[in-house]
Amino acid sequence: MELSRPELFDFHGVSMAHYFTDSWDQVQNFKARSDDIMIATYPKAGTTWVSQILDLLYFGKSDPGRQTSVPIYDRVPFLELCIPNVHSGIESVEQMTLVPRIIKTHYPVQFVPKSFWEQNCKIIYVARNAKDNVVSYFHFDRMNMVEPEPGDWPSYLQRFQEGKLVFGSWYDHVKGWWEKKQTYANIHYMFYEDLIEDTAQEIEKICSFLNISPTQEEKDHVIKEVAFDTMKKNKMANYSTDVVMDFKISPFMRKGKVSDWKNHFTVAQNEQFDEVYQKKMANTTLRFRTEI
Ligand code: A3P
């Protein structure tokens, strides 16, 4: 299938590509239900990992074959994705029969359809430190044909800092959702680094936020199934069935580590990045770990 790489353009003040805005009106008019659960992230922060965790927590027992027969993008549809004849997030969500519907978005907080707020839906926001996030996004953009051409690493790193990647500025994204959490109680804000450090503890926190009480055996099963190597091998979790990605360039489940940025940033890039970071993050209490 021939897909042309899109151009980046300004959309209501955020850099976007048309595959994520073409269904804007439908998305904005989407009628969320009060039991819908949203997973929101800046791209490459651990969306798929948390999607797999939630799908297992809710349906791992009642429908145990699901995780090995239905691709993650159908189990947890990407609300705003719109690729003709390939993916329609809106259509996928509307075809969902299981409850709760678990729905993924990469939108900055101000783009979320108002019905999610009106219905007081539970939302899990996953954030990842900027340095590992940009490295992961760079490799993803190299292999994903519905993303704009990434160019070389130095220019990509520069554009990340200018907010000129799809879904806009990482800094605005993580801060915007953090601020929303101060006034909207139904957001659980979590970090990729914590999930790496102590998966079991983060799953406990998720269960407590969602008011669910799986047995220890069920939780142990989830922990086993969401280990990096297990998900990397699972065709229904590793995106190898997705036609828009070229695994010859880079795998979707790439490294799954904290601090891989050290293999990409030069000393000079790191210093310059830290300087910009201090300025952009000066007005927030949000703190990230770039190593654990
Ligand atoms: P890397 O590119 O650093 O390896 P998203 O799902 O938001 O697109 O994020 C993808 C990133 O999360 C990739 O990071 C991927 O390897 C990582 N990831 C996915 N599942 C994981 C898991 N089970 N454990 C650790 N990292 C995981």
Is 146 a domain residue?
yes
Contacts of 142 (CB under 8 A, 6+ apart): 150, 249, 250
Has residue 63 been placed in a domain?
yes
> 97 C-alpha vs ligand 1 centroid, how far in Å?
27
pLDDT class for 59, splitting at 50, 70, 90? Answer: very high
For residues 13-26, average pLDDT? 98
291 assigned to some structural domain: no
Choice from 49, 54, 144 to test ligand 1 binding pocket (greatest atom count within 8 A of CB): 49
Domain count, the chain: 1
- By most ligand atoms within 8 Å of CB, the mutation choice from 253, 259, 263, 264 for ligand 1 is 253
Domain assignment present for 1: no
pLDDT over 70 at 189, yes or no: yes
With a cut of 70, say whether residue 2 has pLDDT above it.
Answer: no
Name the active-site residue from 106, 139, 173, 188.
106
For the question of an ipTM over 0.95, the answer is yes
Give tens-digit pLDDT for 194-212: 999 999 999 999 999 999 9
Question: CA-CA distance, 64 to 284, in Å (whole number)?
Answer: 42
From the list 250, 239, 181, 292, the residue with the least C-alpha distance to 52 is 239
Mean pLDDT confidence for 66-79 = 96
The β-bridge relationship of strands 37-41 and 14-16 is unpaired
Residue 106 falls in the annotated catalytic set: yes
Q: Check residue 87 and give its pLDDT.
A: 87
- Take atom 14 of ligand 1 and give the residue whose Cα is closest: 256
- Based on its alpha-carbon atoms, the radius of gyration of the chain, rounded to whole angstroms, reads 18
The predicted structure's pLDDT at residue 1? 54
Q: How far is the CA of 259 from the centre of ligand 1 (A)?
A: 13
pLDDT reported for residue 112: 98
Instruction: For 246-287, write each residue's pLDDT tens digit.
Output: 999 999 999 999 999 999 999 999 999 999 999 999 999 999
CA gap 15, 8 in Å, rounded: 6
Cis amide linkage into residue 100, ω under 30° from 0: yes
pLDDT tier for residue 3 given thresholds of 50, 70 and 90: confident
Q: Ligand 1 centroid to 238 CA: how many Å?
A: 9
Q: How far is CA 31 from CA 83, 89, 99, 188, in A?
A: 21, 13, 15, 22
Cα(68) to centroid of ligand 1, in Å?
A: 18
Pocket test for ligand 1, best of 124, 136, 257, 258 (most atoms within 8 A of CB): 136
CATH number of the domain encompassing residue 126: 3.40.50.300
Does residue 3 belong to any structural domain of this protein?
Answer: no
The reply to whether 47 falls in a domain is: yes
List the domain range (segments joined by +) for residue 247.
9-280
Give the residues surrounding ligand 1 with Cβ less than 6 Å away. Answer: 41, 43-49, 132, 136, 139, 226, 228, 231, 253-256, 260
pLDDT over 80 at 79, yes or no: yes
Question: Of all atoms in ligand 1, which is nearest to the CA of residue 126?
Answer: 7
> For residues 195 and 223, is the Cβ–Cβ distance under 8 A?
no
pLDDT digits (tens, 9 = 90+) for 216-257: 999 999 999 999 999 999 999 999 999 899 999 999 999 999
Residue 256 domain-assigned? Answer: yes
Largest CA distance in the chain: 52
Average pLDDT over residues 16-28: 98
What is the share, in percent, of the chain residues with pLDDT greater than 90? 96
- pLDDT band with cut points at 50, 70 and 90 for residue 4: confident
- Looking at ligand 1, which atom is closest to the CA of residue 45? 7
- The SS3 assignment for 127 reads strand
- pTM score, whole prediction: 0.98
Q: Is residue 289 part of a domain?
A: no
Can you give the pLDDT at residue 105? 98
